[in-house]
Structure 1
Amino acid sequence: MADDRKDEELMQFLDEAPASKAALHKSGGNSVWRILITDDEKDVHTATTFALRNTRILGRPIEFLHANSARETIEILKSQKDIAVIMLDVVMETPNAGLDLVAVIREELKVTDSRIILRTGQPNQAPEIEVIRDYDINDYKLKSELTQSKLYAALTTAVRSYKQIRMIEAGKKSLDLIVRSSAELMSKSGLNAFAQGVIVHLSGLLSVPPEGLICVRRTDCRNEGQPEIIAAAGQYCALIDKPLSDLSEETPRSLITRCLDSRENVFEASGLALYLGSSARGDMSCFVSSDTQVDEVDQALLELFCTNISISADNLALVEQLRSYAYVDEQVGLPNRNALIQAIDEEIAQGRRDKSVLALVNIDNFAEMNASLSQRYGDQLLKAVGDHLRSSFSPPTMLARIGGDTFAIFGHESVVGAESVAAAFNTAFTVEGDAQLISVTSGCVPLREAEGNAISVIKDANIVLKAAKVSNRGGVLQFDRYSLEQAKGRLELLKNLRAAFDQEQLFLMYQPKIDIQTGNTIGVEALVRWPLPNGDLVSPGVFIPLAEQSGLIIRLGEWILRTALTELRSLNENGWPRLEMGVNLSVAQLQHPALMDMLKAVLSDTGVDPSSVDLEITESIAMRDMERKSQLISEIKALGFKVSVDDFGTGFSSLNYLQKMPVDCLKIDQTFVHAVNEGNGRDIVELIVTLGRKLNMRVIAEGVETEAQANTVSELGCDEVQGYFFAHPMTREQLHDWLATRSH
């Protein structure tokens, strides 16, 4: 009886022909399991098809594809996708045709997810275990074993395995899409652009055309709680910025409403609505049209997508706020330097350099007003200037605040120019109820005259502005290529000077001072030198003013004094105990509040006698703010230093103040010494010598280059001389040798 049932279950109906391929392809691959039967026996195709007619596996019907040879199998696999199971005969054209075909399927065609069930009518043709393992074969059956129930069981196991593999692969791809979508969406600017991107990425995730829309029901109830369409794609594009009630289609309107009300995702065969809400920005729902029901796995992935997108949307407000901080000056409500750089670079990229002008405007004496009238007043003034600029220049002209009290006006040359900039500040500003008329200095740079990108353009404008502060304060200075190149040269030189100083490339030379009557060396003057890589020296007349203007002179001046006094101690210890060291003090050093502390520290560190140190101050500096300078010089002399007035005769000294100024020596400027034997040059030198005698000061003639000059200044009664006729500046080694030679 059991044998009879076994025979019945075998069910080999030889008269039934397989259905045509066209008929088998009617149903889509997503709603059926596609089974490929490869066998050179027509009866096997017929029996298998009949045995599994009307059979459903895991809720889906079966669709059969048929191949009679390895060649036909390869053609089908190349043209057809989503084949769940391949039922493959081992013996066809050759005894191992099926096994050879497995290698082609896996290695050449790269079909890795389809499950393979090997079938054979010859028990001795069983494949090796290694073949089953290496080629990922799902099962091996004898044809005689494949009763209806066993065939169903084998296919169910294979289909379940195929489904799991596809779910894992789909999950990996979907997760990758989710991660990339979230990252790309975070780069969107603004909620509307972000929402538009959500529709596109969600459609890509579902592999459907981008047909959908996003609605927001805001928490501020500005639309009385009615959902508003903020983004749309496909046929819904015309509905952007309109209420959801304007949507005529019932299905999407209903799905979105259900989603917003329940705050949960809604999945239907006609489409889906995802909840992307937030307590911070209001309820948000995304509808995407679809013609298939989303399965459980995809629903779980979409839940993950929603979580990522919701977090991204929540962070969008923060991103926008940070963007505002990055490009907006909060104090005056204008764009900042970053925004200006971006705007200029865009103009350059779009080829509009020829007609654009950048003007920088700086408030004159703002620091003084801020200090005397309070910082609050200064802040109000800056705000008033920003408001006034907005009323004077309208878009597309761009206004920006790029630094403390410096504003920028950027636009077409017909709008931004010297006259329009000056006119904007001809009227008074109202600050804290008071009318305030301010003075501003401006520098204008046409982009066609500037080179490089936006940063270079702003740098050029700053150079023009600084030049205007010096030569045209209170006015507008237009760009001048020659002056700019000179200024750039000075900036480059200053940069190199800083580098040279930091790398200890600067050094001191020493020029002797001679007693004109005895010929003895009574001292030396320390002179700083800056060598270039080619061996040339940069003139101190060039780099010292740069150091003074930049503030580098404070560090440089202390280094010069410390190095000079260290050398003086070395000279004293090596047999020249009575030599003096002359060192120049700059105006910046004299104005620096830490000058006295610096002098005390250098004296303490070097241990020299301050009475052998002569600090030289130029006449123009000494006579500026003479009451304060007189007090300062008294404090310096109280430390034991000597003080000389350098370059005397080039300034405008008041004899009254000079008489009260506690200095020890006058140094006649070399221009007078060079002309001492010409015209009235002798009279001028004689006058200075007489003045020094009357004020009980020593008189030094500097720049003596000839014997005739030396004889004349000696005749006129100068105490000391200094110049090339007696000695050139020397390095410390040369100085030691020179002194040793003279002493012998």
Structure 2
Amino acid sequence: MNEFDKRILSDDELFFWLCQMASQLDSAVMIINPKKSFTIEYVNHMFMYMTGYSETDMIGSTLSFLHGQHTDLLNEKDIQESIEKGVTFKTSSFLYRKDGSSFWSDVSHLAMRNPQGELQYCVLTLRDVTDSMNIESLIKLERDVYFSLENGGTLESVMGNICDTVATTFWKECYCSIVLRDDNERSLKIYGDLFNDLNKLDENALLMGIRTGDMGRLHKTVILGDIAKSEYYESYRDLMRKHQIVTLWGEPILNMEGKIIGIFTMYFKQHIEPKDIDLKFLNRIAPIATLAMKYFDQKKAIRRLAYQDVASGLNNFERFKIILNEMIAEGNAGHLYIVKPGEYQTIIDLYGRRGGDEVLSQLANRIQSLSTFEDSIIARYTHSTIIVATRLSLREMSIPQKEVDLILSDPYYIDGKEVYVTLKVGTSIYSPQVTLTEAVHRADTALSSALKINGTVIKKFNQSLIESVEQEMNVLSHFSRGIKNSEFFPVLQPKVNIRTGEIESFEALARWVSAELGFVSPALFIPVAENTGNIYKVDLVIFRKVLQWQKNRLDAGLKLYQVSINISPSHFYNASFVENSVALIKKYSIDPKYIKFEITESVELDNVLRAKKIINELQQYGVATSIDDFGVGYSSLSYLQELPFEEIKIDKSFVDNLSNPRMNAVIKTIIQLSGNLNMISVAEGIETEDQHNELKKLGCNIGQGYYYYKPMPIEQINDLLADQMTVH
């Protein structure tokens, strides 16, 4: 309902009011009339200023006039469909101004309806976010440059990547090049797509007259709007004819002392005058090239240090390889270990790289002091790991408990402060039959497996680890197709009132039957989806199909049940999570009380205040929340006081050990605490009558597990509920 001054507004009155409001706003606003084929009926002054179009250009048109060469037409189609359906949304779109220049925009839509639910007007607001998108792409470029050089990439490949990325990100058809002089101004190096053509130009044209030896910290951007009218026409004539280049922008590249050592250049096929936002983007490129060169030089200096890791004082990996290869050549065999402190990144965050170096150095010294490892070779393998090779025969090594305590229980010291660590260890064997390269690869694979488990873990390599990695990669390659082809679906497991035995609600569990892979275990595809940032797609598929099931029951006049949906941490913290979830529930016309979001306890540990805000917003809309797997991770009872969950789920691992008096006492405490906090207690994984009876005795509210029901497809759930209704 649109209400103003306590009156119901007619279409004309509402339109007048909307226009008056839009004219006062600093945001770009467009009003679309659904009764006129969803054409534009009004744009405010900010909309005209942002796009360069006049009111005459736009009135009576559709959004398509803002589309251009690189606009995502599928996204625009979704936007248009949402407008026509009257769905409120917020999204991003790549659009074009009248002069042909492009910009990224956040697009928000508000549907205005009359009391009968008819769509009266669609109000769109646009916000230019090009600068933030440019910054985001440059941050990613910096990260790519770092990782490429960290992994042995050449300066040529890195500089080429900078040129390619900018040409793609800038969304204007162009070529990019980087021209560099060394510190002694001797050699000229050229990178980018036009390398062969630019190599034929003289130095003055390449550097646009900038003196590379200038120490004046010049930051002058070079703009040649029409090369044909510049002093460099003769030099560039062949290049202009071959590639239709007419405009050139250049930005000086400085070294860390402020001395100009080159220029980053963009070549365009059309006359383009840079806007302020373009100049800001251009100014941010050159420092990335500077940092790449600096880091590359540092890497070369490190490589020159043939045998020692300066930061930790340990042998470096090159030295390690030389020694171990000599041992293998002499017929020796033994064990190889790659060791990583589980808290390494936390140590870096608290104490910096020096703190990490110190812990690795102390760890290596302790290992070397063990009787089992006194004749071993130890070196720094990566920035966060050390590598150890024993000179022992291939027997199972037994390390005395006292020595184990020395490594694990005794604190490490950084600036006189005590630090405790857990260790992740991957181990394999080496021998004349197993090369060093293969042994290291196997130990790396074992370490990757160890990193997935909490606490101190030693993983031995076996072929199943390789098969597991291959399986994960196979799952990943079919994942997108599975989402697209609607191969993911929910199964529902009833949640039963422990005292009455009646079904009170359900939990939706994701399942995947792939056309190529067949049934894929959730234990396999969920970690893969989480690690690749795609888990939210699974969440949404399950959420939509649950809502559709509830809608079908609603339309059929059948009883509705609350269904719990598992939400991944990354999805939970998404800025649009609450808004999008509520919109989806409304789309299916389901009362929010029939939806509950289950959130694993690790979520609130990230940011209690933010989690509390999200949970409160959900509750305001009537959506319940549950803390899942409570007690498995690093639970703190204070979180239960801080966060307004309505339900607490006791993990199956607790229920499995219910007969243990200590575990029994823990579960009893959790159940009592949940009651004191007006929370519902749910026990997962109940499989026996003894467990059921004991939990009933302890006062647990809800039970879930194979003792009652296994997870079932929706069709079987319908039959089950129909049978129960018949019995009643």
Task: State the TM-score bracket (shorter-chain normalisation).
Answer: 0.3 to 0.5
- Taking structure 2 as the reference length, the TM-score comes to 0.40
User: Rg bigger for which structure?
Assistant: 1
TM-score, with structure 1 as normaliser: 0.40
